[in-house]
Amino acid sequence: MKGLKKRLNAGETLTGCWLNLGSSVTAEIVGLAGFDWVLLDLEHGAGEPKDLLHQLQALEHTGAAPIVRVESVAKQRIHRVLDVGAEGVMCPQIKTVEDAETAIKGIHYPPFGHRGVAKMVRATGFGKQFDQYRQLTHENLLGIIQIETKEAVDQVEAIAAIEGVDVLFIGPADLSMSLGIFGQLDHPTFTAALDRILTAARNAGKATGILLFDPAEFDKYQAMGIQLIACSSDATFVANGAADLAKKLNQQKRKVDPN
Which residue is catalytic, options 44, 54, 79, 108? 44
- Rounded to whole angstroms, the maximal C-alpha distance in the chain is 72
DSSP string, 92-105: -S--SHHHHHHHHH
* Active site annotation includes 44: yes
The candidate with the shortest Cα–Cα distance to 115, out of 86, 94, 150, is 86
Reported in sequence order, the residue ranges of 77-202 that DSSP labels E, i.e. its strands, are 88-91, 142-147, 167-170
Q: How far apart are CA 46 and CA 146, in angstroms?
A: 20
**Which residues fall within 8 angstroms of residue 230, CB to CB, at 6 or more apart?**
15, 16, 17, 18, 37, 39, 209, 210, 211, 212
Q: How far apart are CA 78 and CA 82, in angstroms?
A: 6
Q: How far apart are CA 154 and CA 132, in angstroms?
A: 38
Residues 147 and 153 sit within 8 Å (Cβ to Cβ): yes
User: Cβ of 209: how many Cβ atoms within 10 Å?
Assistant: 29
**Cα dist. 196→74, 159, 258 in Å?**
28, 12, 56
Residues 103 and 94 sit within 8 Å (Cβ to Cβ): yes
The candidate with the shortest Cα–Cα distance to 190, out of 177, 203, 202, 209, is 177
Q: Which residues are catalytic?
A: 44
